[in-house]
Every structure is written in C-alpha cells, then in structure tokens.
Structure 1
C-alpha cells in the first residue's frame, strides 16, 4: 500500500472528524459523546476495541499479519491521544466553533484524536504488511486526574505487553509540517500544596495578645523563593509558585488562620521530593518563628517526563526521512509544564514529541490553553505520518 497517497485520500474524512470533535468538546471525566464517536469510527473500520476504560477511555488493537522476525525487538507498540477539552470560552470565529458555552478544545486534543483515528485506519488497511501489534490509547481526563495512570493501573500495557509507546502534542510555536523533539527530560513533575498557618486571633488594637497568621504567611511567601535560589543548583531547574493566599475576615481583627496554596515543579522526581521536604521544613520553621504553626499538605501531580534515547533515535530518523531533515527541530530546553504521558515513559520505553500547528506565513502567535487557539489542520497530516511510519519502523528493529 502506498501510505502517503492513502493518507492524502482519507485526509478530508479525518479533518471532518476533527471538526465534529471541536464543535462538541467535553470536559475531563465527561467525554461520553467523544468516546462514542471514537468507538463508532473504530467499529466502522472493524478495529476491535474496549470502551469505558478509566472512565470514558478506549483501547483499540490492530494486529499485523506479517511473520514476526527472529529477534524482533518491539512486538507491540502503543500510540496515545488524549481527548478531553478545557473550561474556556472559544473566541475563534470558524464554522466549526464550539457549540458548548464555556468549553473548548484549547489544547489540541481534538487534533490528537483525529490524527490517531487516521493512523488507525491506515494501519488497519496495511495490517498484512507489518509484523507486530499496535495498541491505540484514547485517553480521558489528561487535564485533571490523569487518565494515563488509570489506564496503566487497569492493566492495559499488558496482554499483549506494550514494548514502546509514542505520543504527540501540537505546538503553535512551530510551523505546520515540522516535528519538534526533545532528548531526555522534556516535561516537569508537579505537586500541588496547601499551607495553613495557624495563629491566635485578637483585637487589632492589641496585636501583642495574638499571633498574626497573615504576617507569618507573608514572610513565608518570600522565604519559600530562597529554596530555589539557595538550595538548588542553578543548573537544576525548579519552581515554587504561590498562586493563592487567603486570610482574615475583618479589618480590625488579627487573623487566626491564613491559607496559602501553590505548585512545585521540577524536571525529575528526586528534585520534586527534595523541594517538598524543604517547603515543609520552611513553612513549619518560619511559622514557629512568629509563634504560629503551619500544617502542610501535598497532592502529587504527574511525574517527570523523560524520553527514551533508543526510541528517540528511531523517530528522529523517521521524521528526517518522511518529512525531510529541514522539518525536524529540537526544543531548546525542557518545559516546566506537566503531561501525564509521563506515566507511559515511567513504565516503558517511550517518546513524546511536538508537531507544529502554526500556519505557514502566520504572523499572529498563538498559545495553548488560549481562547484564540486555531491550529492549522494540516498538522493532522504530520501527526498521521509520524505515528504510522514511527510504529512501522519500530517493528523493523532487531535485537
């Protein structure tokens, strides 16, 4: 089968699927109709799949009919696409604008799903031409609770065992037709925290009779920043963000309680653990210095995402061959943002990469999670090419 030509032939169909998804976005853990549409497509093309995984997730399987080569390294390859939308009101005036007030595909997950459905159709048609099994992960709730973790915990990296996984994300920082890689560390680990500073309330005219939780908390906000600047090497990035602070309920009362909340980000899990330890120590000691107490609670987000060198080499070579060397670029530094594809990269050999979605000649820069995001749909073609040829090349690897 001439894969490039076949992708061109089905491209219009896949774009229409993307537009349907874009018009009908659903928030995390609510992707009911999105899941139904994916299932209908897979059923139409006789691709076996299971539904309602980790909520509304789907796992599909395509088994190549070719003979497994002696020493073939990758027998099963996983490809992942997330499907949930964001609570953002779309401001892009396109015919397929979101029909759901306050909900929008502002992170490109509609593009990701469409590309993977295109990949599914191509690989199903080409099943006689490759040896190995492809598992397609349509993942729910990436933006909130992390559907990847739940799918993995439910055992979907097994039976058959997935040897390698690939995933992609759109980026409006790069022109359409290009692929952007990052070797090694790519995305940060994250942890939410909440610090409750407990003081003693009293009349504002007699502060000596109380313990001012707001003063203690205010000092703590500044002191926490010294953890990054003085406890971490300058070559080891970390972020401690205080996003909210709430304390007191009347102008003339010394507040007995102030609550701070924020986020820790680091490029490896050990650094994240160290920052959590120091935040707790700093909070308790600073509060104690004011005669107050501090209670610190952590909620871990996603782990750090690091790409596998071997799979990265293979995919880079695929990109250079399929798209040309001029259309391959590299992320100059890791992102301190988080993505739950990291659960795949923790469990098995995996690579996450970006596909450019900025229209050629476009001068207006866009951003993910923006009400103005309007990705060039030609990027879907890039995604299908990389997923199809990436999986096929992995099956060719011999130990």
Structure 2
C-alpha cells in the first residue's frame, strides 16, 4: 500500500480488508436478482438449463458480482482515504475479471482493499481492488476501480503530510516571486501529482519517488496544451545550504537511476552524459527536466518551504512546439522583472544537469551522476 494510505489510515485499516458477506447464493436469491434486472435467461432459474450449458447448477447473472463489489468498495471509501468524500467520486476506470460464474450454493465474501492512494488532479486519487471469494477461498471475481474525489470530508479532518505539502506548493506557485507559468497552468488545471517521499537520499524515498513517477507516467498524455508535473516532496534537511541540497539531490537521482535501469533503458531521444547539451534525466525510458526546490535556495523562485524535486516531461515540452519557446521567453522576462535578472545558470550553461539544483555552478563543476554502462539510449 502506498505511503499516503499508511499515513492516513490506522494499522488495522491498512492490514485488514473491508469485508462484505458471507452471502449464501440460494436459487430464490438468484432468481429474484435476475427478475430485478429484467434478465429472462433460463440458466438463472433452471438447473436443467444451466446444466445444458455445462454448469452444475443454476448460475447468477454476472452483475450480481458487480453489486457485491460495489458494496465492498463503499466500505473502503467510507474510511475517507486522504481525507476526501468519495460518495460522489468520479470513476476514472472500472474493470471486472470473472473467473467463473457465481453458482447456486456458493457462499461468497467480498474483500476490498485500498491498493493506491495519492494526491493528484486537485483531489484524492485512489485504487480499490475487490476479490469475491467462494467459501473455500478461491476467487470468483476480481474487480479494480480507480476513483477521484475533489471533495474534502466536511468538518475537521486529519490533514496528512501530502495535503500540507500540496497546500504549501499551491501557495508557493501562486506567490508573487514565482515565475514558471507552466506550473501555474498545471495548478489551475489540477494536473500536478504530488507524493511526499520521506528523507531525500534515503532508500525508502528513492522507492517512493520511482513509484510516484511510474504512476504519473501511466496517465501522462503529452500535447500542445498539456501542463502536467510530478512533484516529490521530502522531509527537512539538517543542512539547508545550496551545496548540501545539490549533493543530496544527485545522490538521490543516482540511486533512482541505479534501480530504474535494471528494468528500463535510458530514453532513446536524450543523452545519458550529464555534460552533454542533449542530457535529460530518464525514468522508465521517459526523459525529464528536473527542478530542485528547497528552503536555502538563493533564487526566490526555487526557495520552497521543504526540499522538493519537480519532474517535467521533455516529451511534453516537445509536443508544445512553438508554444514552449514562447512560454520560456515569458518566464525569463517575468524572472527579470521580478528578480532583477534571469537565472544566470540558464543563460550561461547549455547542459541542463547544471540547472537541476538551482545553484549557480562553477565553470569547472563536474556532475557526480553516472549512467549505468550498457543502459543508455542516445550517445550524443
């Protein structure tokens, strides 16, 4: 289960699924349900008709499993994952896998569990899996649902770390000193996905960052008017200097790459050498431009209340075409107007690796990142 669920649900909630049942499937119950949905199929009422189709006894309409699954889902969302009310949630996806028909004589139990929970698209995005089991424990039907709610639970509610981080980020992006217009567009469109990952540089935080990025990539659709970012936030660092943040950030990114490269090649469109002007950080074979934020940043537009890494898709930039270059000029003009100058790193160096931490690096600076041999795509 994701870190958000672990933070916002009790230990009992995270370990034990929500249960509905047992429900005994009698012939009368099956026939009544078939009548209620207006399905006249004889196999739902006659053992002889069911046996003619190869079943040992009367079977139930597949939608009976749907009803059971819905009841189990309701038991999970009643716990208000992430502090949201899901009674009017949007079902982004729903899938049922019927392993065998429900039969007369079955004693069924539906077990629902929260498999993912994260802050995204301006609300709480959750995935719920329901397994309907027979009395012997074998699965009859498995359903998965992805739901989005943008309605916080009315009244006092526990506000988790991610909710606080998202609120702080929204305030930061909306502030006078913030210059990135793309981030403002993403915030307005609720297309910023955020995950609080723990201690920057730790193994657990690396795993959480990778998991969040892969979730983000599943729904990313680069386009001319697409503004979407993944933001990983972290616990406070003991040393808030720019150099300390930069060192820890690169250690974090190196560990991310070492793990990711076991399963995914480097992006074929970008170079793995951080000194190259064609470098872009790659996760899941997808190229990203990274913006580091932290409390000790010298530039106001990088000075955030907690350490954070913002992952922006290069494919999204490319899909924007001329719009990207127009927006970049407007951002730099805004930076100059608000802060007296354009970020000198952006106009001095072509390699984007120098820009990730936000610190103005010396000319002889060497990036500590090394791509794993044999895993790279472009060699430019």
TM-score tier by shorter-chain length is under 0.3
Report the TM-score when normalising by structure 1: 0.25
Report the TM-score when normalising by structure 2: 0.26
Q: Which has the larger radius of gyration?
A: 2
